[in-house]
Structure 1
Amino acid sequence: MTDKEDLKKEKKGKGKSKVVCGYPISIFFIVVNEFCERFSYYGMRAVLVLYFKYFLQWDDDLATSIYHTFVALCYLTPILGAIVADSWLGKFKTIIYLSVVYAIGQVALAVSAIHDITDSDRDGTPNNMTFHVVLSMVGLFLIALGTGGIKPCVSAFGGDQFADHQERQRRTFFSVFYLCINGGSLLSTIITPILRGQTCGIHTQQKCYALAFGVPAALMVVSLVVFIMGSGMYYKAKPEGNIMMSVCKCIGFAIKNRYRHRSKAHPKREHWMDWAEGEI
Structure 2
Amino acid sequence: MLEERERKEPVMNPFQKNESKETLFSPVSTEEVPPRPPSPPKKSSPKICGSSYPLSIAFIVVNEFCERFSYYGMKAVLTLYFLYFLHWNEDTSTSVYHAFSSLCYFTPILGAIIADSWLGKFKTIIYLSLVYVLGHVLKSLGAIPILGGNVVHTILSLVGLSLIALGTGGIKPCVAAFGGDQFEEEHAEERTRYFSVFYLSINAGSLISTFITPMLRGDVQCFGDDCYALAFGVPGLLMVIALGKYSSKGKKQSLMPSIG
Q: Which residue of 2 aligns with 1:110?
A: 140
Give me the identity figure in percent.
Answer: 58
Return the TM-score normalized by structure 2: 0.81
SS in 1 for 2:46: coil
SS in 2 for 1:24: coil
SS in 2 for 1:218: helix
Measure, in 1, the Cα distance between the counterparts of 2:76 and 2:222. 21
Matched residue type, 1:155: A
Q: Which residue of 2 aligns with 1:5?
A: none
Q: Which residue of 2 aligns with 1:274?
A: none
Write the mapping of 1:68-87 to structure 2, written as runs, cut at 5 A: 68-87=98-117
Give yes or no for contact 1:116–1:201 (8 Å, CA) kept in 2: no
Q: Which residue of 2 aligns with 1:140?
A: 161
Structure with the bigger percentage of helix: 1
Shift in Å, 1:189: 0.3
- CA-to-partner distance for each residue in 1:183-206, whole Å, 9 max, x for gaps? 00000000000111034334xx10
Give yes or no for contact 2:132–2:163 (8 Å, CA) kept in 1: yes
Write the mapping of 1:213-232 to structure 2, written as runs, cut at 5 A: 213-231=232-250, 232=252
Q: 1:52 aligns with which of 82, 91, 101?
A: 82
Distance change in 2, residues 1:35/1:15 (3 Å)? farther
Distance change in 2, residues 1:16/1:97 (3 Å)? same
Q: Which residue of 2 aligns with 1:16?
A: 45
- The number of residues matched between the two structures is 219
Shift in Å, 1:13: 3.3
Matched residue type, 2:227: C
Give yes or no for contact 1:14–1:235 (8 Å, CA) kept in 2: no
- CA-to-partner distance for each residue in 1:11-51, whole Å, 9 max, x for gaps? x8367233532211111011111111110111001000000
Measure, in 2, the Cα distance between the counterparts of 1:79 and 1:100. 18
- CA-to-partner distance for each residue in 1:29-76, whole Å, 9 max, x for gaps? 111111111101110010000000100000000000000000000000
Distance change in 2, residues 1:68/1:15 (3 Å)? farther
**For the pair shown, which has the larger CA radius of gyration, 1 or 2?**
2
Matched residue type, 1:22: S
SS in 2 for 1:164: coil
Over the aligned positions, Cα root-mean-square deviation in angstroms equals: 1.7
Measure, in 2, the Cα distance between the counterparts of 1:92 and 1:82. 12
SS in 2 for 1:17: coil
Give yes or no for contact 2:122–2:259 (8 Å, CA) kept in 1: no
Give yes or no for contact 1:91–1:236 (8 Å, CA) kept in 2: no
Measure, in 1, the Cα distance between the counterparts of 2:211 and 2:127. 29
- CA-to-partner distance for each residue in 1:65-119, whole Å, 9 max, x for gaps? 000000000000000000100111000000000000000001110110011223x
Q: Which residue of 2 aligns with 1:67?
A: 97
Q: Which residue of 2 aligns with 1:210?
A: 229
Q: Which residue of 1 aligns with 2:200?
A: 179
Q: Which residue of 1 aligns with 2:17?
A: none
Distance change in 2, residues 1:14/1:149 (3 Å)? farther
Q: Which residue of 2 aligns with 1:99?
A: 129
Stretches of structure 2 lacking an aligned partner (at least 5 in a row)? 1-38
Q: Which residue of 2 aligns with 1:196?
A: 217
Stretches of structure 1 lacking an aligned partner (at least 5 in a row)? 1-8, 119-127, 240-280
